Amino acid sequence: MRTWSEMTTIQPLVSKMLVNSLKKERISHAYLFHGARGTGKHELSILLTKSIFCNNKTDFQPCDNCKECHRIDTGNHPDVHRIVPDGQSIKKEQILHLQKEFTYTGLESNRKVYIITDADKMTSNASNRLLKFLEEPSKLTTAILLTENSQSILQTIRSRCQIMALKPLNPLSIKNKLVEEGLSESNAKLMAALTNNISEAIEISSDEWFANARKIVVQLVEVLQEKPDESLLFINNNWMPHFKERRQLQQGLDLLIIWFRDIIYNYVDNSDSIVFISEQEKIVHSSMNWSREHATKVLSKIMEAKRKLDQNVNPALVMEQLTLQIQR
């Protein structure tokens, strides 16, 4: 999203609030953008930053062609600093380095912006250090924190930010757009359930690894139903060798969530909401194997497993425990 007009089409309320602030030249010293993946947090932070630094903007709209805009796009602007997790977390040393950078005068203006991606992944020490930074704000400094989980950020940090809640995108409109891009109806529906990002959805849909991941998820369900005694063997011999990275494991669990959610949709006769439409007969079979109450409990256990993965718990142990919980 390169213009406020485009951004308004997907996040009308937040865009309107930010545009009004730009028009009145009342930029907050700190923003917290929170919303699900693909709702435009990163794009919004870049657009706002350009609107702050662009020297050729028309009213509040950045030109997108000047040196300032290009350097912000490429991450090379000397007065725009970005922090991303170092491994699984954002560490105290990263915030200390940021503070050190901000003791220097701006290289090209007195303005400075820093963007913290996955701000909920700050360690306790990093959070406390950032809090001290926010407690003494400079009028010419703007902090932009991006997160999918604002409740994991210290309340004292949240209270010092202007909170911008990004609304989820409409899965139906995403699915229709993907169909226009050439995806099948069933594939488009699955991609729309996994991500709000059109480009990412198209990339995933053509990924051979993902196609195999989808098959393995269905196979796991079948093993759990037909040969539960072999489920742990399946996890170690089939699941773990394919889902090698934590990011991949999270995606596998997302597919499991969709499967068990489809079971519940089948119970309440809401077939239009079923995502695995090409495996609908198997969803019906799963409904005969697991009660609606059990499927609901399993969804909770899968979410718990996802949280454990974020907390660096051993992946094989997480999956083995989850498998036993699904069987009960």
Rounded mean pLDDT of the chain?
Answer: 91
Last residue in a domain, options 135, 165, 195: 165
Query: Which amino acid, one-letter code, is at 295?
Result: A
Say whether 254 sits in a helix, a strand or coil: helix
Looking up residue 98, the CATH number of its domain turns out to be 3.40.50.300
C-alpha–C-alpha distance, residues 110 and 174, integer Å: 41
21 & 160 share domain: yes
How many domains does the structure of the chain reveal?
2
Query: What's the CATH code of the domain at 267?
Result: 1.20.272.10
Average pLDDT of the residues in 181-198: 89
Residue 112 tokens read as 């400075």
Q: Nearest to residue 216, comparing CAs of 238, 249, 247?
A: 238
pLDDT number for residue 103 = 73
Q: Are residues 144 and 228 in the same domain?
A: no
Does the residue 202 lie in any domain? no
> Are residues 126 and 215 part of one domain?
no
Closest CA to 211 of 265, 260, 251: 251
pLDDT at residue 226, rounded to an integer: 93
CA torsion, ordered 120, 126, 130, 131, to nearest 10 deg: 80
Q: Which domain holds residue 224?
A: 207-327
Q: Where are the beta strands (DSSP E) in 85-185?
A: 112-116, 141-147, 162-165
Length of the chain: 328
Domain for residue 267, yes or no? Answer: yes
Angle between helices 124-135 and 92-101 (to 10 degrees): 30
Written as six digits, the tokens of 324 are 């036993």
Give the model's pLDDT for residue 155: 94
Q: What is the pLDDT of residues 200-230, one digit of tens each?
A: 889 999 999 999 999 999 999 999 999 999 9
Q: What are the tens digits of pLDDT across the range 61-103? A: 999 999 999 999 999 999 999 999 998 899 999 999 988 887 7
**Three-state secondary-structure class, residue 165:** strand
Residue 83 lies in a domain: yes
pLDDT of residue 115: 97
- In percent, the amount of the chain with pLDDT more than 90 equals 72
Region of poorest pLDDT, from 10-14, 140-144, 194-198, 289-293:
194-198
Same domain, 241 and 291: yes
What's CA 125's distance to the chain center, in Å?
Answer: 24
- Give the whole-angstrom CA distance, residue 311 versus residue 86: 14
Beta bridge partners of 89: 86
pLDDT tens for 112-138 read 999 999 999 999 999 999 998 888 877
The average pLDDT across 149-161 equals 93
Burial class of residue 275 in the structure, from the number of CB atoms within 10 Å of its CB (0-12 exposed, 13-18 middle, 19+ buried): buried
